[in-house]
Amino acid sequence: MWSISKKELDGLLSDESLANVSFLVLGKKIDLPYAASKEELRYHPGLTNFTTGKGKVFMCSIVRKMGYSEGFKWLSQYID
Ligand SMILES: Nc1nc2c(ncn2[C@@H]2O[C@H](COP(=O)(O)OP(=O)(O)OP(=O)(O)O)[C@@H](O)[C@H]2O)c(=O)[nH]1
Indicate which CATH number applies to the domain containing 34. Answer: 3.40.50.300
- Compute the average pLDDT of residues 39-44: 77
Whether the per-residue pLDDT at 11 is higher than 80: the answer is: yes
Three-state SS annotation for the chain: CHHHHHHHHHHHHCCHHHCCCCEEEEECCCCCCCCCCHHHHHCCCCCHHHHHCCEEEEECECCCCECHHHHHHHHHCCCC
Higher pLDDT: 53 or 9? It is 9
Instruction: Give me the domain span that covers residue 47.
Output: 2-14+24-76
Q: What is the predicted pLDDT for the residue at 52?
A: 64
Cα-to-centroid distance, 29 and ligand 1 (Å): 7
- Would the CA dihedral through 71, 74, 78, 80 be positive or negative? positive
Specify binding-site residues.
29, 31, 62-63
Query: Which of the listed residues 62, 64, 65, 66 should we mutate to test ligand 1's pocket, taking the one with most ligand atoms within 8 A of CB?
Result: 62
In a domain, 64, yes or no: yes
Q: What is the predicted pLDDT for the residue at 65?
A: 97
Please check whether residue 50 is in contact with residue 57, taking contact to mean a CB–CB distance below 8 angstroms.
yes
Whether the per-residue pLDDT at 68 is higher than 90: the answer is: yes
Total tally of structural domains belonging to the chain:
1
